[in-house]
């Protein structure tokens, strides 16, 4: 580094080069700016059906034990996850949400200028981490509102990518590929390219979406979370499944005490409550159907969804969809939308219970009228 | 990077160079290895007097809301902290414990080969982060069981350090410098050196330990936590106070959703319960006196402590102290000790209630006899 002494702090050249933008503006920020809370919180892909009552009980009971650090090995949770998935604890690292784990993974693999491939319009927090460690991000377009495995592979081979990011099911489109497509993609990976398979929504996807776990395969790392199907976004518990040497490497860089004691207790209880997860799946499926009906009743096309949100084609361009979005927000409905054309012709609406669906159904025709007017 | 394509993952050269060691082995790991739980958990500098009942209530009540992400701006908590400290929210960043914030800070400032100065035997997690980002760590010895501001300053000037780390009060010795010493140290900082002043234990220290907050001073960043005085180690909430441009830079790299919803609610309630903090201070002071009595009754010298632990000079060398430690652990008393000579002549014992103190008092003479035998 060639900094000359001066008033501190002397940031690294990389830190100096990073933009001040953040991946997402939270709904609370919008509520403060509006001076009014949202009536329906449908924009952050949260699970409005909530966590397992057993998880709530476990977290509430653990509150009094919070004077103790959480186990830095996350041992009990990793053991339970290993049993659940038919792998060993050495195949699993638990972290502060998938966001935290993506940061560690990028840090382990990406030095300045290293190539990484993702889809244009895919998860911005992954891009945030790649930029944050100086990686060179190469984007390929979606194809028919799906991430495009062939194009991702082709680009990775072209640029000798260290990482490919793909979410299955996809956010923000809600689309998915069947397991067979992913298995073929893994087999087609260029030498030296690791596939980051983000399966945040996989518990809500149709059977046959997740490829069989092959945890000793060094070519792929699977990202899972308690934030979506398990309804615990605010607890910050994600995990990755991968080959033991890669998983062990996280210990070189992770915040060892980063996953809190209450969060660990909640995740352990949530994992055990398979009946609640089945109930959530049914509720989400029913809500997706309601959202599709609302969309159709308003002349919008609901895209097929393998997640807990439905992405709706507003039938025009991004300018129009942004007007619809703004009009919904003005009517106290928190929703978001894809960032990149042509996916930004859509809005993205979360599944939820009857009250939230009714609020959205009431606001949408008014919002569309305003956007068209 | 000069990796040739091969089976992934292709780690960065830096990641490849990092050791597999971790900063701390948790008590749960020891319990699993022993096949037996500890009777007294006195080794992790946790607050056995626990969090505010109001914080427990707030966390328990928030468990059902955990389907929502926590506010990524930590707005309410930052606003309350700003009011509490007489600064503005722009002077405060909240993160996943001081550990998490130290990682972000090092990442922002330290590129490969950049010089950093700390004390030999000071907080190993800071060293873990410096190594993790390829920094060049320079250590100066303790002086009279205190960190040595003059030596730290001298070394920083010599190596043009970007960062100096100093904890006041100090861990693992429990010693402290008065505010005036710190103020003089800040004024003596070399151009371009930022002082990381870790004040994790400051709520438990005598009046006059913390220098007045001068939040616009670009030369120092103050690290605070809810893990110690506030008794919420397992919630993972730390914060830093510093000049607004430095604080804003954390947004370039931090895990924006990393502080959970339950943790934020708990910290907010804990901060408001000043009576509980005062009670904890009194309990800790009483327990320190008990620990000093136990030490004296066994021929050990309890060092003065400004924290919630008491470091005891076992009167010989590190080999002997390690034997005492092992014998205490064999008797189900979880304690730790300094890593580096001559501080490793000591063991470090946490404050606690009557039962924990009685368990330690019963085990210590036996442990000493075994260590001497």
B258 to chain A, closest Cα gap in Å: 6
| Strand B238-241 with B301-302, pairing | unpaired
- CA-based Rg of chain B, rounded to a whole angstrom? 21
Position B307 confidence tier, pLDDT thresholds 50, 70, 90: very high
Q: What CA–CA distance (Å, rounded) separates B58 from A270?
A: 21
Structure tokens belonging to residue A45:
């892909």
- Verify that B229 and B344 share a domain, yes or no: no
Number of structural domains in chain B: 2
Structure tokens belonging to residue B248:
């804003």
Structure tokens belonging to residue B231:
């008794």
B179-186: long-range pairs with CB below 8 Å, 24+: B179/B208, B179/B209, B179/B210, B179/B211, B179/B212, B180/B211, B181/B149, B182/B149, B182/B211, B183/B211, B183/B212, B184/B149, B185/B149, B185/B152, B185/B153, B186/B211, B186/B217, B186/B219, B186/B220
Residue B3 has pLDDT above 90, yes or no: no
Q: What CA–CA distance (Å, rounded) separates B369 from B327?
A: 9
Q: Which residues of B touch A248 (CB under 8 A)?
A: 20
Structure tokens belonging to residue A275:
């009946």
Of A23, A109, A262, the CB nearest to B12: A109
- Verify that A43 and A177 share a domain, yes or no: no
Residue B86 has pLDDT above 60, yes or no: yes
- Write the CB contacts of A287 (distance below 8 Å, at least 6 apart in sequence): A308, A351, A352, A353, A357
Position B64 confidence tier, pLDDT thresholds 50, 70, 90: very high
Domain membership flag for residue A68: yes
Structure tokens belonging to residue A361:
């159904």
Q: What CA–CA distance (Å, rounded) separates B67 from B260?
A: 11
Position A4 confidence tier, pLDDT thresholds 50, 70, 90: very low
Residue B5 has pLDDT above 70, yes or no: no
Of B63, B194, B259, the CB nearest to A60: B63
Domain membership flag for residue B264: yes
Structure tokens belonging to residue A344:
């930004």
Residue A263 has pLDDT above 80, yes or no: yes
- Verify that B148 and B280 share a domain, yes or no: no
Residue A370 has pLDDT above 80, yes or no: yes
- Write the CB contacts of B5 (distance below 8 Å, at least 6 apart in sequence): A160, A190, A191, A192
A15 to chain B, closest Cα gap in Å: 5
A30: containing domain: 24-49+275-372
| A338 closest CA partner among A45, A130, A106 | A45
| pLDDT, position A5 | 45
The DSSP result for A97-139, as a single string, is HHHHHHHHHHHHH--TT-EEEEETTS-HHHHHHHHHTT-EEEE
Q: What is the CATH number of the domain that holds B235?
A: 3.40.640.10
Residue B203 has pLDDT above 50, yes or no: yes
- Verify that A256 and A224 share a domain, yes or no: yes
**Chain B interface disruption, residue of A5, A20, A191, A260, most B CBs within 10 A:** A260
Q: Which residues of B touch A126 (CB under 8 A)?
A: none
Using an 8 Å Cβ cutoff, are A309 and A201 in contact? Answer: no
CA neighbours closer than 13 Å in the CB half-sphere of residue A51: 34
- Write the CB contacts of A193 (distance below 8 Å, at least 6 apart in sequence): A117, A156, A157, A160, A161, A162, A163, A164, A219, B8
Among the ranges given (A18-27, A148-157, A180-189, A338-347), the one the predictor scored with the smallest mean pLDDT: A18-27
Please name the residue of chain B whose CA is at the shortest distance from the CA of residue A112.
B1
Residue A2 has pLDDT above 60, yes or no: no
B158 touches chain A (CB under 8 A): no
* Last-in-domain residue among A224, A246, A272: A272
Q: What CA–CA distance (Å, rounded) separates B303 from B289?
A: 11
Position B73 confidence tier, pLDDT thresholds 50, 70, 90: very high
Q: What CA–CA distance (Å, rounded) separates B262 from A61?
A: 13
Please name the residue of chain A whose CA is at the shortest distance from the CA of residue B58.
A63
Residue B137 has pLDDT above 60, yes or no: yes
Position B1 confidence tier, pLDDT thresholds 50, 70, 90: very low
- Is B234 within 8 Å of A20 when comparing Cβ atoms? no
B 16-45 near A (Cβ less than 8 A): 18-20, 22-24, 26, 28-29, 32, 41, 44
Instruction: Give the number of A-B residue pairs with CB atoms closer than 8 Å.
Output: 313
State the virtual CA torsion across A146, A149, A152, A158 in degrees, nearest 10. -150
Domain membership flag for residue B10: no
| pLDDT, position B4 | 43
- Is A232 within 8 Å of B67 when comparing Cβ atoms? yes
| A226 closest CA partner among B56, B71, B260 | B260
Using an 8 Å Cβ cutoff, are A42 and A335 in contact? Answer: yes
Position B91 confidence tier, pLDDT thresholds 50, 70, 90: very high
A43 to chain B, closest Cα gap in Å: 11
Domain membership flag for residue A58: no
| pLDDT, position A273 | 98
- Verify that B367 and B264 share a domain, yes or no: no
Q: Which residues of A touch B24 (CB under 8 A)?
A: 72, 256-257
Q: What are the CA-CA distances from residue B124 to residues A139, B139, B171, B292, B303 (Å)? A: 39, 12, 10, 26, 21
Q: What CA–CA distance (Å, rounded) separates A59 from A136?
A: 41
- Verify that A92 and A166 share a domain, yes or no: yes
| Overall average pLDDT of the B306-318 stretch | 98
Domain membership flag for residue B96: yes
| Overall average pLDDT of the B72-92 stretch | 98
Question: Which residue do the tokens 């890593």 mark?
Answer: B339
* Last-in-domain residue among A239, A272, A305: A272
Residue A212 has pLDDT above 50, yes or no: yes
| Overall average pLDDT of the B109-122 stretch | 98
- Verify that B93 and B34 share a domain, yes or no: no
Of B11, B64, B259, the CB nearest to A109: B11
- Verify that B205 and B345 share a domain, yes or no: no
Using an 8 Å Cβ cutoff, are B362 and B164 in contact? Answer: no
Domain membership flag for residue B85: yes
- Verify that B298 and B231 share a domain, yes or no: no
Q: Which residues of A touch B13 (CB under 8 A)?
A: 111
- Verify that B338 and B266 share a domain, yes or no: no
- Is B68 within 8 Å of A44 when comparing Cβ atoms? yes
Instruction: Tell me if residue A371 falls in helix, strand or coil.
Output: helix
- Verify that A304 and A190 share a domain, yes or no: no
| A259 closest CA partner among A102, A117, A101 | A101
| pLDDT, position A3 | 40
State the virtual CA torsion across A264, A269, A270, A272 in degrees, nearest 10. 130
A117 to chain B, closest Cα gap in Å: 15
Residue B217 has pLDDT above 70, yes or no: yes
**Chain A interface disruption, residue of B9, B72, B353, most A CBs within 10 A:** B9
| Overall average pLDDT of the A5-28 stretch | 86
Domain membership flag for residue A3: no
Domain membership flag for residue B11: no
| pLDDT, position B2 | 38
A87 touches chain B (CB under 8 A): no
- Verify that B171 and B182 share a domain, yes or no: yes
Of A66, A73, A249, the CB nearest to B29: A73
| B196 closest CA partner among B134, B137, B257, B112 | B137
Structure tokens belonging to residue A287:
């809500």
Residue A1 has pLDDT above 50, yes or no: no
Using an 8 Å Cβ cutoff, are B255 and A103 in contact? Answer: yes
* Last-in-domain residue among B210, B237, B272: B272
Q: What CA–CA distance (Å, rounded) separates B102 from B222?
A: 11
pLDDT in tens, A31-88: 999 999 999 999 999 999 999 999 999 999 999 999 999 999 999 999 999 999 999 9
A 175-214 near B (Cβ less than 8 A): 189-194
Q: What CA–CA distance (Å, rounded) separates B58 from B267?
A: 9
Using an 8 Å Cβ cutoff, are A177 and A208 in contact? Answer: no
What is the CB neighbour count within 10 angstroms for residue B278?
11
Instruction: Tell me if residue A25 falls in helix, strand or coil.
Output: coil
pLDDT in tens, B144-202: 999 999 999 999 999 999 999 999 999 999 999 999 999 999 999 999 999 999 999 99
**Chain B interface disruption, residue of A4, A63, A94, most B CBs within 10 A:** A63
Q: Which residues of A touch B256 (CB under 8 A)?
A: 22-24, 99, 125
| pLDDT, position A6 | 57
Q: What is the CATH number of the domain that holds B36?
A: 3.90.1150.10
């Amino acid at each position: 580094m060639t900094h000359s002494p001066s008033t501190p702090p002397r940031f690294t050249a990389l830190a100096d080069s990073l933009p001040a933008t953040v991946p997402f503006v939270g709904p609370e920020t919008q509520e403060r700016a509006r001076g009014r809370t949202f009536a329906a919180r449908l924009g952050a892909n949260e699970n409005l059906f909530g966590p397992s009552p057993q998880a709530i009980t476990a977290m509430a009971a653990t509150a009094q034990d919070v004077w103790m650090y959480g186990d830095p090995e996350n041992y009990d949770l990793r053991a339970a996850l290993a049993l659940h998935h038919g792998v060993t604890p050495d195949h699993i690292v638990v972290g502060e949400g998938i966001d935290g784990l993506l940061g560690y993974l990028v840090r382990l693999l990406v030095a300045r200028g290293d190539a990484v491939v993702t889809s244009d319009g895919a998860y911005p927090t992954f891009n945030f981490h790649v930029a944050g460690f100086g990686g060179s991000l190469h984007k390929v377009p979606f194809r028919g509102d799906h991430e495009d495995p062939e194009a991702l592979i082709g680009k990775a081979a072209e640029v000798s990518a260290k990482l490919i990011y793909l979410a299955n099911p996809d956010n923000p489109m809600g689309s998915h590929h069947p397991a067979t497509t992913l298995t073929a993609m893994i087999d087609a990976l260029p030498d030296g390219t690791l596939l980051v398979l983000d399966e945040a929504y996989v518990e809500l996807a149709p059977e046959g979406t997740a490829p069989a776990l092959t945890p000793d395969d060094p070519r792929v790392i699977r990202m899972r979370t308690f934030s979506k199907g398990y309804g615990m976004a605010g607890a910050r518990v994600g995990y990755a499944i991968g080959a033991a040497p890669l998983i062990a490497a996280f210990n070189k860089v992770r915040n060892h005490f980063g996953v809190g004691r209450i969060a660990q207790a909640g995740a352990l209880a949530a994992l055990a409550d398979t009946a609640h997860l089945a109930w959530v799946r049914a509720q989400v499926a029913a809500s997706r159907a309601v959202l599709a009906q609302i969309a159709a009743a308003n002349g919008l096309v609901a895209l097929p969804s393998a997640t807990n949100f439905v992405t709706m084609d507003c039938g025009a361009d991004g300018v129009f969809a942004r007007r619809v979005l703004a009009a919904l927000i003005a009517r106290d409905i928190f929703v978001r939308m894809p960032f990149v054309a042509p996916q930004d012709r859509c809005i993205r609406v979360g599944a939820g219970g009857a009250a939230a669906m009714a609020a959205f159904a009431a606001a949408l025709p008014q919002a569309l009228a305003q956007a068209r007017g």
